[in-house]
Amino acid sequence: MDDDFRYAICRAFHDEHMASSHLLDALEELLAKGGRGLPDLETAAARHVLSGLATAIPTEVHRHFAFEEVIFVRLAELGEEEIGRVLTAEHRVILPVADRVAKASATALTHGMSESQWEVFRSDAAELIERLQAHILKEEKALLPVMEEVLTPEEDLAFAEDYAAMATA
């Protein structure tokens, strides 16, 4: 995916997309190791994935989606409303699945996971991987180029500052 963005907000979104993609790849690896059977969740690699999911989804993913929706309002004002409508609808489908995966990950870190819990987790995690990877690709190929085209340097600066402030709040 392209990472040659002139706008700071696009670079920030891109960097987060790449971090999410790496986490999804690691999750996919964990699912493959377990298959239908429960993998060893006490390994450092498994705990790293579970911890990443438990923390990134409720903080970074929610923040990322919420801030994109602020930008969608501006894009709509500039005549680019369809991309925001499509991506917002995807957010509404992805977040409940992501939240279930985050909650199950946090629980697994402290209490472990039964075979039946693994089956539910495996199903939700596979859906999350499929939906979020497709969503990231759509944002990389459609949203970020539109933002680069229609936003002004001043808007980029304001959005980048606001987004950075959200990360530290």
- Domains of the chain, first to last: 8-168 (1.20.120.520)
d(CA 13, CA 163): 10
pTM over the 0.95 mark? no
Q: What is the DSSP letter of 61?
A: I
Kindly report the average pLDDT of the chain as a whole number: 94
Query: Does 1 have pLDDT greater than 60?
Result: no
Q: Are 41 and 77 in contact (CB under 8 A)?
A: no
Q: Are 72 and 88 in contact (CB under 8 A)?
A: yes
CA 95, 99, 105, 106 torsion-angle sign: positive
pLDDT at residue 3, rounded to an integer: 60
- Two structure tokens written together for 16: 């987060």
